[in-house]
Amino acid sequence: MRYLIAMTGSSGAVYGVRLLRALKGERMLIMSRTAKGVIEHELDLKPEQVAVFAETCYEDEDLFAPPSSGSFLYDAMVVIPCSESTLGKIANGIADTLITRAAAVCLKEGRRLVLVPRETPVSAVMLENELKLARLGVTIVPANPGFYSRPESVEDLVDFVVGKVLDQLGQGHDLFRRWGR
């Protein structure tokens, strides 16, 4: 399986890094310029230290990169974390970066697209954009951890959200204890 992972400038870079580490299969990565700054600020990592978890990395400014074309095949795209700005651009067909262009390709080609927004509170505009995308078949997985698994650390909270993304991709995992177990 081949996956395109995009990290945008929303807080929550830890979710993207954890997904890259947990995801089985070929991982291709796009980090927005702001995501690179957030990675350094939140995780004390250089973007190059995150890039090692992917087989291929593309620059968000490179609209000639393979993911900008529908003929470039992969199984799913995950934007994690997904800023509400990026989500809004995707919802309204604005494809001015590689991340938003690749998401537009997913929509037109009928590929799985999973967005993990990390914003609170949300405005009516944000909710309308999410609803619009959900109606188009996009999976919205808000970065809202559950507590029934009795998390004991920040890592447990992160693993819950990343586990929910892996569930959407059909990948088995043991990142959190499921309900009833």
Looking at residue 5, its pLDDT comes to 98
Q: What confidence tens digit (pLDDT) does each residue in 1-16 have? A: 999 999 999 999 999 9
Q: How many CA atoms lie within 13 A of 40 on its CB side?
A: 9
Q: What is the DSSP letter of 55?
A: S
Over range 23-27, report the average pLDDT: 98
Place of tokens 């973007």: 47
Instruction: Name which of 165, 140, 137 is nearest 17 in CA terms.
Output: 165
Q: Which one has a higher pLDDT value, 178 or 59?
A: 59
Break the chain into its structural domains and give their ranges. Answer: 2-168
Cα diameter, the chain: 48
Looking at residue 179, its pLDDT comes to 86
Mean pLDDT of the chain: 97
Q: What confidence tens digit (pLDDT) does each residue in 129-153 have? A: 999 999 999 999 999 999 998 999 9
For residue 128, pLDDT beyond 80: yes
Instruction: Name which of 39, 31, 29 is nearest 3 in CA terms.
Output: 29
Q: How many CA atoms lie within 13 A of 93 on its CB side?
A: 2
Over range 44-66, report the average pLDDT: 98
Collapsing DSSP to helix, strand or coil, 141 comes out as coil
Q: What confidence tens digit (pLDDT) does each residue in 61-116 have? A: 999 999 999 999 999 999 999 999 999 999 999 999 999 999 999 999 999 999 99
Can you give 70-135 as a three-state secondary structure string? CCCCCCEEEEEEECHHHHHHHHCCCCCCHHHHHHHHHHHHCCEEEEEECCCCCCHHHHHHHHHHHH
Residue type, 145: P
Looking at residue 9, its pLDDT comes to 95
Exposure b/e, 11-35, CB count within 10 A at least 16 = b: ebbbbbbbbbebbeeebbbbbbebb
Contact 158, 18 (CB under 8 A): yes
pLDDT band at 180 (very low <50, low <70, confident <90, very high): confident
pTM: 0.97
For residue 181, pLDDT beyond 90: no
Q: What is the CATH number of domain 2-168?
A: 3.40.50.1950
